[in-house]
Chains A and B, each alone.
Chain A
Amino acid sequence: MSTIPTETAQPGRASLFYDPKIRGYVYQIVLIAVVGFLIWSAASNAIENLRAQKIASGLGFWHNAAGFDVNQKLIPFSASGSTYGQAFWVGLLNTLLVAAIGIVLSTFLGFFVGVARLSSNWVLSKLAMIYVEVIRNLPLLLQLFFWYNAVLKPLPDARNSIALPGSIFLNNRGLILPNPQFAPAFQAVVIAFFIAVVAAIAFYTWSKKQQERTGRQYPNGLISLGLILGVPLLVYFIAGQPLSFELPQQGRFNLTGGLQIFPEFVALLIGLTTYTAGFIAEVVRAGILAVSKGQTEAANALGLRAGPTLKLVVIPQAMRVIIPPLTSNYLNLTKNSSLAVAIGYPDLVQVFTGTVLNQTGQALEVVAITMAVYLTISLVTSLFMNIYNKRMALVER
């Protein structure tokens, strides 16, 4: 060891033990090994205990008969023939349904409130402020109970349903609509719809190119709308109106037949939408404020009116600030939908982590699957939002 001074003088030949790079690798490997060992021992410990206590484990329950019913289902499900696996899909689809609609609605509402808060109209901006402060500062669960009762209370019972025009009924079992029955020829309408969408996109691309070449602007929105609505409608009449409706009938207790929108769904959707919109409004406000005032002034100096200024100058720049926190809010909305369990909406947590877990008793598997599902939903949402963010981000040349 007395020879160290002469050795350290030559950095290239230092002992491996003191090489920072090698040391770094060694530490990383040790860390991975320790973490791996902990996970492995926890898992084997759990498996051993389950076996010792004779608790059933594994995914064998997936194909067992479920034996219970769910009211809202997007795929066929019945107590007589369905399995726990199908119950999982019923719950997952219900979660995705409420999350997807909630994300769209809360985005619109959030943008509106966020812009309203910055409005020069005093009443509008104060109303937006009160909305944001009230919504953000009350627990979501409480709001869900409020909405559930607010949705249910004013509605009459099933025997005294409010009859709306077009065989639509409203009562405390939900909104009952005529159930559409599609004849085979309806396929043509669907195909026409997709063709119209493709045509609209093609027209949009063409008009953009025209604008860049000649400066002439086309009413893109109106033409797209006309195509997407008009073409399928035309085909519908040509195909001889291949759509009939099963009308709701008054039964002993409820209306039978018809398509039912459950109050649990409506209450959950309103709760999630208004709650998340409160946060989105703040994100939007912050994003708009982040765009320097000079940008608006410059746009005005170029002769742009207020509308195009907002659309072409302010919003695109604000979006860069808005998108990352917006992603978090979308994820929160999806995860918060699990509070549905409190108001009886059959989402993934209620059906799978609630009923299936209790009927099978296989907590480890069911909870692990549920966690994996929420993780996947969140990661996929993040991925798409990140791709969108990349496209919107400032391109430096």
Chain B
Amino acid sequence: MKKIFAAALVAAATTVCVGGAQAQTGLLGQIKTKGVLTCGVGPGLAGFGIPDAQGVWSGLDVDLCRAISAAIFNDPNKVKYIPLSSKDRFTALQSGEVDLLSRNTTWTMSRDTSLGLNFAGINYYDGQGFLVRKKLGVDSALKLAGASVCTQQGTTTELNLADFFRANKMKYEVVAFASADETIKAYESGRCDAFTTDASGLYAERLKLSVPADHIVLPEIISKEPLGPVVRHGDDNWLDVVKWTHFAMLNAEELGITKANVDEMLKSENPEIKRVVGTEGKFGEAIGLTNDWAYRIVKHVGNYGESFEKNVGTGSLLKIARGQNALWTKGGLQYAPPIR
């Protein structure tokens, strides 16, 4: 008996030590060994991350997971998607249940500094808005005094809402639900006069209403919501991989490298293109990948503009204009540091 107990103690102690040693080799190494990337995504938001009838995920946020998978494995499908509610997302990332979070998460200072997390870029510039019934005859959020507003709980949305009504000295009533589904249902049943979330979310959730055309998004955008991928604090190499995957997609769009022409681009003499597709320099190796990492991303997933148009832009049901999310060269905010 005693021997067994001692053996168990020793075994337990060694497991603890091995566990400690593994953590030091870096998340990228672990993902390569596991052969799969675990990606935390939203529980279903059209255009950003939603599974179809076959359980295949698609969307702008999902494309980032696919791009990282393509960069690591030369295969965009080695991703395990974990749907996370806004309430659970940070805990899931902190506890290591997911390797990264790619689900409309707003970059705020407190989240960046006190949650043990790092934001790895902004893949969608958004702002909070309001959805109301057309027949209410309200054309501005400033006329919502006394209104009842439905929102999803545990988000920056709740805070902006309180700030907005307080700043404009208007009274209101908030009804908060755990999931986006319940929120939009309550709005539709007439429990609330307005539904509020990020503007992108308003367009996506409006599709769930029985007659989407009866509802309008008010012009006021009451907050800045820079949405982007998030990783755990303390693994700089992994942060680089996620960050530069997004930048590679932006640089590809800027240089006109598309899914269709990426193979031809391998023969390009343009030094900027050569550095992106990996025929010049060792940029991929510097972040622990192969030098053709960006080529793989564009080849399998496409550049940022392609992903945008397909998921939320003109090629999708959402039909959101590029707006602030256009490249900086076209008057938008999307700006990637150069690959050099």
Interface of A toward B, CB cutoff 8 Å: 50, 52-56, 67-71, 79-80, 149, 152-153, 157-158, 172-173, 251-254, 256, 263-264, 341-344, 346, 350, 354-355, 357-359, 361, 363
Contact = CB atoms under 8 A, between A and B. Distances in A.
A342 B154 CA distance: 13
B329 interface: no
A169 B90 CA distance: 43
Interface in B148-186: 148, 150, 153-155, 158-159, 161-163, 166, 171-179, 182, 186
Nearest to A148: B186
Contact of B191 (A53, A173, A251, A252): A173
Given A52-B234, A55-B114, A149-B189, A80 B166 contact: yes
Nearest to A70: B174
B148 A253 contact: yes
Contacts of A67: 159, 162-163
A305 B110 CA distance: 72
A361 B114 contact: yes
B116 A71 contact: no
A148 to B, nearest CB: 8
20 contacts: A55-B94, A55-B116, A68-B161, A68-B162, A69-B174, A152-B189, A157-B190, A172-B189, A172-B190, A253-B144, A253-B146, A254-B146, A264-B175, A344-B150, A350-B176, A354-B154, A354-B176, A354-B178, A355-B153, A357-B87
Contacts of B182: 342-344
Contact of A69 (B90, B91, B161): B161
Given A53-B232, A153-B189, A172-B190, A355 B116 contact: no
Interface in B67-111: 86-87, 90-91, 94, 110-111
Contacts of A149: 189
A173 B186 CA distance: 11
B103 to A, nearest CB: 14
B40 to A, nearest CB: 15
Instruction: Please report whether the interface of chain B is mostly helix, strand, loop or mixed according to DSSP.
Output: mixed
A55 B144 CA distance: 38
A355 B232 contact: no
A263 B178 contact: no
Given A53-B232, A53-B234, A358 B148 contact: no
A181 B111 CA distance: 43
Contacts, number: 122
Contacts of A357: 87, 154
Contacts of A263: 191
A254 B148 contact: yes
A344 B148 CA distance: 13
A361 B115 contact: yes
Given A149-B189, A341-B178, A69 B234 contact: no
User: Interface extent on B, as a size class?
Assistant: 35 or more
B233 interface: yes
Contacts of A361: 90, 94, 110-111, 114-115
Given A53-B233, A79-B166, A354-B153, A342 B86 contact: no
A316 B94 CA distance: 55
Interface of B: 86-87, 90-91, 94, 110-111, 113-116, 136, 143-148, 150, 153-155, 158-159, 161-163, 166, 171-179, 182, 186, 189-191, 193, 232-234
B153 A350 contact: yes
Contacts of A70: 174
A254 B192 CA distance: 10
Nearest to A53: B116
Contacts of A173: 148, 173, 191
Contacts of A52: 234
A253 B147 contact: yes
B146 A256 contact: yes
Contact of B177 (A55, A157, A344): A344
Contact of B233 (A54, A254, A363): A54
Nearest to B114: A56
B183 to A, nearest CB: 8
A359 B154 contact: yes
Contact of B90 (A341, A354, A355, A358): A358
A335 B115 CA distance: 29
Contacts of A355: 153-154, 158, 176
Contacts of B176: 344, 346, 350, 354-355
Contacts of B158: 68-69, 355
Nearest to B177: A344
Given A53-B116, A152-B189, A254 B173 contact: yes
A163 B178 CA distance: 32
A172 B191 contact: yes
Contacts of B144: 253
A71 B175 contact: yes
A148 B284 CA distance: 55
Contact of A358 (B86, B166, B175): B86
A393 B90 CA distance: 51
B276 to A, nearest CB: 33
Contacts of A68: 158-159, 161-162, 174
B90 to A, nearest CB: 5
